[in-house]
A = this chain, B = another copy of it.
Amino acid sequence: MSKTSRKIKPKLDRLSQALENGELDQARRMLNRGLAPVDVAHLLESSPPKERNLLWELVDAELQGDVLQYLGEDIQTDFLRDMDAVDVLAATENLEPDDVADILQRLPNAVILEVLDSMEAQERQRVETVLSFPEDTAGGLMNTDTITIRPDITLDVVLRYIRRHERLPDSTDTLLVVSRRDEFIGTLPINRLLVSDPSVTVREVMDTDSVVIAALMPETEVASLFEKHDLISAPVVGGDGNLLGRITIDDVVDVIRGDAEHQVMSMAGMDEDEDTFSPVLRTSWRRAIWLGINLLTAFMASAVIGMFEGTIQKITALAVLMPIVASMGGIAGSQALTVLIRGIALGHVKSGNVRWLLKREIIVAVLNGMLWAVVVAGIAIAWFGDIQLGAIIGAAIMINLVIAAVTGTLLPVLLKKLSIDPALSGSVILTTVTDVIGFMAFLGLATWLYL
């Protein structure tokens, strides 16, 4: 809970005024005492590089870790590059093990080891546990700050045990019941603890059928379990059934948000951690790669058109109308592609129903193909006074819409099977297909009928 949830706007205004007037001491005070770390992070993310670096230097060392954990990957990496092991250690002192692990993963190996070496034994072990799992699995997402209890004590003992804590870890909605050998047995919701008879034992009221997460479960699966079962936290167990830690909803929300952004950003060839204000050269280079890939596909379309130069020279109306055929195919294909990618992500699309979906998409394409073929043919005839041209463009639109539907449906399924991210490569491949088929069908039919 933050002290600055309301009315941070005037504070930000005063801060930026202090910065403009060069009153750095005052700005430093406002930044470190007036704002919550999450607001400082948001301010940094909303600032162009020059102001951002100035602001970062004003953040106190012991606050930097708190702020770091709320920053995007890109910016984290930028700031961490200038920090040595001592700085990192100071910054991460008060963070939870999963957040420390996240930050360490952006550092060179030598620095990671140096930081780990300087940690207290217990803290080091916790961070190392998290680091031992891939970042995008349950193990990499979990926290080790669990409150565990034994099954054979009474709730009264549990209540007294809890009262010995100064505070409970954030998002503690359940206590985790483990055996003497640390095997996970069940969960005791805190709210049930509060309403149950204190004289009964934990075993009598605990849940043994609640959701348990395997350490190597991919984080997107973890997220869908949380969504499906409205969880606030869930225990993570290793292959031997031992309790390793727990995952809390706030980290899951980050996964859900990241997942969703991934798809949107990927469609334009970008990364979900892209910094809105990243420096010009970095941005240019990253985008250049995507432009280059698309240029290749554009040249493939050009090569197809090049095959029909002779026809175009005779009937220039073809050049005027050909983008329509390609564009309608691209739009129809991307609709099918989007529905399929989403259906796969939600787990609605399985091998058993792809055939039904394919059939549906083809029928939709034929229906829309008929509608728009007639419309476009009519306009083409009215425009160029050529009935044959109308028939050709109508047929080409029909062909391209059907091919677009088949490609849009099967491509994501195929890419998924090959473990290729359909959000990133799907639309490029689809557009290549609809451009090539669109130009080929239209110009090919025209060549065949006119020449």
Number of copies: 2
By a CB distance below 8 angstroms, the chain B residues around A281 are 367
Q: Is A334 an interface residue (CB 8 A)?
A: yes
Is residue A18 within 8 Å, beta carbon to beta carbon, of the partner chain?
no
Q: Is the interface of A mostly helix, strand, loop or mixed?
A: helix
A194 to chain B, nearest CB (A): 5
A292 — nearest CB in chain B belongs to which residue?
A: B372
Contact A38-B228, Cβ < 8 Å, known A324-B299, A328-B295, A364-B287: yes
Q: How far is the CA of A171 from the CA of B320 in the complex (A)?
A: 61
Query: Within 8 Å of chain B (Cβ to Cβ): is A1?
Result: yes
Contact with A338, one of B210, B226, B270, B335 (Cβ below 8 angstroms): B270
Q: Are A167 and B191 in contact (CB under 8 A)?
A: yes
| Beta-carbon contact of B295 and A372 below 8 Å | yes
Residue of B nearest to A443 (CB): B319
Q: Does A312 contact B (CB under 8 A)?
A: yes
Q: State which of A102-110, A115-123, A343-351 sits at the interface with chain B.
A: A343-351
A159 to B196, CA, bound (A): 11
Q: Which residues of the partner chain B approach A173 to less than 8 Å between Cβ atoms? A: 171, 173, 232
Q: Contact string, A207-242, partner B, CB cutoff 8 A, digits 1/0?
A: 101111000000000000111111110000000000
Q: Is A91 an interface residue (CB 8 A)?
A: no
A79 contacts B by Cβ under 8 Å: no
**CA A167 – CA B252 in complex, angstroms?**
26
Question: B232 touching A253 by the CB < 8 A rule?
Answer: no
B167 and A195 form a contact (CB under 8 A): yes
10 residue pairs of the A-B complex, CB under 8 angstroms, read A38-B229, A45-B348, A167-B192, A249-B249, A253-B253, A263-B264, A264-B264, A274-B339, A291-B331, A295-B375
17 additional contacts (CB under 8 A) given A226-B253, A276-B343, A305-B319: A165-B195, A170-B230, A227-B253, A227-B257, A232-B249, A260-B260, A260-B263, A276-B349, A283-B364, A287-B332, A290-B331, A291-B372, A295-B324, A302-B320, A302-B324, A309-B317, A323-B323
